[in-house]
Amino acid sequence: MATIIMDSPKVVVLDIRYPTLPVVELHRHHSPVNAIAWAPHSSCHICTAGDDSQALIWDLSSMGTGSNNGGNGNGNAAAAAAAEGGLDPILAYTAGAEIEQLQWSATQPDWVAIAFSTKLQILRIYGVSHVVLLK
């Protein structure tokens, strides 16, 4: 589960088994975050968008499952390191204005829709290497 804090550039990812302890906090937006969407095909990918006009895609696979005994597994070590130094997004797209909404297509997981100003843009994601804007 992920959540945003009103008027904050931070996204907090939670494990619903331990909702009081954040798995990781995503800190790469420069202005408040307005929207988040999990990839329908992956439990490790999330897209965030905000007032900084950026849509960022994150790969949380390094966070591990958190199911290791006593919380001492490699997944938890990676989570702690990412929480301290910050996790970087794997893809970034800058729109023409503050992004207000986004949706990751459930039927076509290569497509993410973003809405800003009076526009709707559809972004096609090719693996993790680049994002292409279709006009």
Neighbours of 57 (CB within 10 A): 21
Judge whether 55 and 93 are in contact, CB under 8 Å: yes
Contact predicate 14/46, CB 8 Å: no
pLDDT digits (tens, 9 = 90+) for 44-73: 999 999 999 999 999 998 775 444 333 444
Q: Where are the alpha helices (DSSP H) in 59-101?
A: 74-85
Give the chain's domains with CATH numbers.
2-134 (2.130.10.10)
Please report the pLDDT score of residue 85 as a whole number. 60
pLDDT surpassing 90 at residue 35: yes
How far apart, in whole angstroms, are the C-alpha atoms of residue 50 and residue 33?
A: 4
Give the burial class of 67: count Cβ atoms within 10 A of its Cβ; 0-12 exposed, 13-18 middle, 19 or more buried.
exposed
What three-state secondary structure class fits 57? strand
Contact yes or no for 93/133 (Cβ under 8 A)? yes
pLDDT at site 68: 38
Record the tokens describing residue 1, joined without a space. Answer: 């589960």
